[in-house]
Amino acid sequence: QSVLTQPPSTSGAPGQRVTVSCSGSSSDIGSNTVNWYQQLPGTAPKLLIYSNNQRPSGVPDRFSGSKSATSASLAISGLQSEDEADYYCAAWDDRLNVVFGGGTKLTVL
Amino acid sequence: EVQLVESGGGLVQPGGSLRLSCAASGFTFSGYWMSWVRQAPGKGLEWLANIKQDGGEKNYVDSVRGRFTISRDNARNSLYLQMNSLRGEDTAVYFCARDWQLDVWGQGTTVTVSS
């Protein structure tokens, strides 16, 4: 059972906008920043968003993140077939552990 | 090119031990915290442990504390995970990752615990 709560799956058609939610508590998201990772099938995770809403170099601006209180969201606009992947949120907790969400499988219809 | 390459995975019997390695290149290894993260088959990501730049501070998730030990050798640009008293539920792909943001990941090494 993951500490952070994400929907198991979501889907959207090419060109649409989808969001993935991530719910935590005052011990993790409520007091630390949130990162998002993208894991394409059969590959290692890749940092997609850090510090709630910052994109590493090379990540398209179609991907955006936000945080409010003990929840966070990842938005993907202009959905493309190559966005089909698993998405994980993560945050540090007050014990200096990283806690992950269970992951959300994005299907591009 | 910034790169992390894990090795040392394999098949081990329950109760056995294994030592994983992670070779870093393309960046100043001694300047970063480093972590180990695992992913059981068909499951999500689980952070296991991290270690400070000089090795002087380590943090562990409860499920591995006392069984797993994280260490590093900055002269060899290498990170290690000593795993003892292995159980079936430790079967997973093990990744090393850089920094608090986990901004660089290796490709992973597979550990299978089975008799």
- Residue (of A84, A88, A96, A26) closest to B33 by Cα position: A96
**Taking 80 as the threshold, does the pLDDT of residue A1 lie above it?**
no
H or E segment to which residue A106 belongs: strand A104-108
For A80, the token pair is 């493309």
> pLDDT for A11-29, tens place per residue?
999 999 999 999 999 999 9
**Taking 90 as the threshold, does the pLDDT of residue B112 lie above it?**
yes
Interface probe, candidates B3, B47, B98, B101, chain A, greatest A C-beta count within 10 A? B101
Burial class of residue B83, CB neighbours in 10 A (0-12, 13-18, 19+): buried
Mean pLDDT of A76-103: 96
| Alpha carbon distance A65, B86 (integer Å) | 38
Write out chain B residues lying below 8 Å of A35, CB-based: 101-102
> pLDDT for A52-73, tens place per residue?
999 999 999 999 999 999 999 9
| Contact flag A97-B105 (C-beta cutoff 8 Å) | no
**Taking 90 as the threshold, does the pLDDT of residue A81 lie above it?**
yes
| Alpha carbon distance A58, A48 (integer Å) | 9
| Alpha carbon distance B62, B42 (integer Å) | 22
Q: Does B35 touch chain A (CB under 8 A)?
A: yes
